[in-house]
Amino acid sequence: MGVNAEVFLYDEKFPPEPKTLMMFYKRLREVDVPEMMASIIAETPDKPWEYYRDMTRQLWDEARHAMMGEVGFVNLGIDWPKQVMINFTWSLALNTQLKPIERHAVLYFIEQGLMPKNGKRFEWEVGLASHNPLSALFQDYDWADEVLHARVGRDWYLKNFEDPKKAVQYGDHCWSRVLMNWAKWREEGLTQHRNWWPDTYREACKHWGVEPDPQVAAYSTTYEQVRADLKTISASG
Ligand SMILES: [Fe+2]
Ligand SMILES: [Fe+2]
Ligand SMILES: [Fe+2]
């Protein structure tokens, strides 16, 4: 959690081209979602068949979004397993600290937050502005799928509540109960929270045939202070 994608993505001083790298990273990181959805599905018995069908469709979408991120990096000649650091701490924390319905609440809370103008539409517009056709195409798919996921959330999570506002608040509450100890993981030697951004960006610049922009290369904001969801800026959607 050494590179904060959202702070970079929403900073107007940065151009769209390097932002496509941050979006590929965000897509790649979506592989954390199937990791927490699989446990919701497996640990929620006695639902109608349609529940398992919809939830499994969504699980597969999330895995596919991660593959779009992978393809984005490969297309730029970036050795992503070496250069781009992702982890599974979000799903690990959710799987070990929350009950299935609480996990679904967090998922709903995050996904319904992806729909405003500064969510998936913004990412798609950055993709278009970057002139990286893959980025625009991927964001188009990502947006469309997340619209469907919001519907899946309405059908299978929201209906447990009489008041939709309470359903959102419950998700927010469950999310804020999850302990993600950024500093402790580093102290225990589990991670370095390495800033992989400058090397990855320089690698992409080589592919683009441009000189790295020193201001972009110097970016070094981590997730130590900012929770990675839309409450502050954006979500891990
Ligand atoms: Fe997505
Ligand atoms: Fe989703
Ligand atoms: Fe997603």
Tell me the HSE value of 110 on the side-chain side, using a 13 A CA sphere.
20
Neighbours of ion ligand 2 (CB under 5 A): 146, 149
Q: Cα of 212 to ligand 3 centre, how many Å?
A: 30
Q: How far is the CA of 136 from the centre of ligand 3 (A)?
A: 16
pLDDT digits 0-9 by tens, 102-134 = 999 999 998 887 777 778 999 999 999 999 999
Is residue 100 a contact partner of residue 106, using CB atoms and an 8 Å limit?
Answer: no
Distance of CA 224 to the CA centre of its chain: 16
Burial of 15 (0-12, 13-18, 19+ CB in 10 A): middle
Residue 118 structure tokens: 């500064």
Give the Å distance between the CA of 68 and the centre of ligand 1. 9
For residue 179, the one-letter residue type is: L
One digit per residue, pLDDT tens: the chain, 237 residues? 999 999 999 999 999 999 999 999 999 999 999 999 999 999 999 999 999 999 999 999 999 999 999 999 999 999 999 999 998 888 999 999 999 999 999 999 988 877 777 789 999 999 999 999 999 999 999 999 999 999 999 999 999 999 999 999 999 999 999 988 889 889 999 889 999 999 999 999 999 999 999 999 999 999 887 654 444 433 455
49-56 contact pairs (CB < 8 A, 24+): 51/156, 54/152, 54/155, 54/156, 55/152, 55/156
As residues whose CB is below 5 A from the ion ligand 3, the structure lists 30, 62, 237
Spacing, Cα 146 to ligand 2 middle (Å): 5
Q: What is the pLDDT of residues 22-47, one digit of tens each?
A: 999 999 999 999 999 999 999 999 99
Q: What angle do CA 55, 56, 62 make, to 5 degrees?
A: 90
Pairwise CA distance, residues 222 & 230, whole Å: 16
Q: Which ligand is nearest to the CA of 65?
A: 1
Which of these, 85, 41, 32, 103, lies nearest to 63 by C-alpha position? 32
